[in-house]
Amino acid sequence: MMGSGASRPLIVTSLIMVAAGSWLTISPLADTLGLVPLPALYRLLLIVMLVGCVMLTQVVESWFFRRFGE
């Protein structure tokens, strides 16, 4: 990243929360909580959207720093 990035604790916490949320849908608690496993297509599309968002953010950030020189 060209500008400031997320801190290591924020990244780790975010990854833990994503893993916990994904695990809950296949855990023994899933029935109790009324959760069902997410379809594979949903997970694939989620990954594609997240990667696309990161790429678009990088493009806009690069443009911004070239345009305004900050």
Averaged pLDDT, 51-67: 90
Measured from the Cβ of residue 61, the count of other Cβ atoms closer than 10 Å reads 13
CA pair distance 29, 18, nearest whole angstrom: 16
What type of residue sits at position 31? D
Q: How confident is the model at residue 20 (pLDDT cuts 50, 70, 90)?
A: very high
CA pair distance 50, 46, nearest whole angstrom: 6
Averaged pLDDT, 46-67: 90
User: Global pTM?
Assistant: 0.61
